[in-house]
Amino acid sequence: MALWGHSLGAVKTVYFLGTENESRVVCAVASSPPRFSHQAYLSGPNAARFEADIERAHQLVGAGKPDDLLEALVPVARPFSARTYLDKYGPQARFDYFDHLSNVRVPLLLTLGSLERAEMNFAPLAEEGPTLAARWPDIAYQLIQDADHSYAERTRELWLAVSAWLKGAAVPTTAR
């Protein structure tokens, strides 16, 4: 089977591939995975607010209220349960998909919309995407021109890129 995840589903796809040895999966696509990197947010322009949100989440969890909501602003303004916020953005960074790429054992295509490149969650993939195959030959990257996060108005271009990649990725090599 092939897996294809988008956004948080893309993060989950890479995490699964990097932590499980599932022989039924022969290839995967991860479209627009956001980067859950604690260090990146600490060094970003909203570091002070991020630290305050992390501290508030720690306080809630420490007080036995892990399901209480906090109104986080970084990386996006939305309510999160304290537990979920720490799970995604806390110092353990266990869902930073970049940390799992080296353990992926099947062909993987990472896609990104060109309109996402400047966003903090996606800038690392835009910067490093073109060089990933040099480090990991089974990992490919494709930037979809003029596509936003949902690939609105660019689903055909996304499918053409994935379809072309699948033709070469469908047969696993003996090195995997």
Average pLDDT, the chain: 93
Tokens of 115: 């309109």
User: Does the CA dihedral 43-127-145-102 come out positive or negative?
Assistant: negative
Question: Which own/partner contact pairs does 157-165 have at CB distance under 8 Å and 24+ positions apart?
Answer: 158/31, 158/111, 161/109, 161/111, 162/4, 162/29, 162/109, 162/111, 165/29, 165/109, 165/140
State the pTM of this model. Answer: 0.88
Q: Read off the pLDDT of residues 75-93 as tens digits, 9 standing for 90 and up.
A: 888 999 999 999 999 999 8
Query: What are the structural domain ranges in the chain?
Result: 2-36+95-169, 41-89
CB distance 97 to 15 below 8 Å: yes
Q: Read off the pLDDT of residues 131-152 as tens digits, 9 standing for 90 and up.
A: 999 999 999 999 999 999 999 9
Which CATH number is correct for 2-36+95-169, 3.40.50.1820, 3.30.230.80, 3.40.50.360, 3.10.450.50? 3.40.50.1820
Block residue for tokens 């501290």? 55
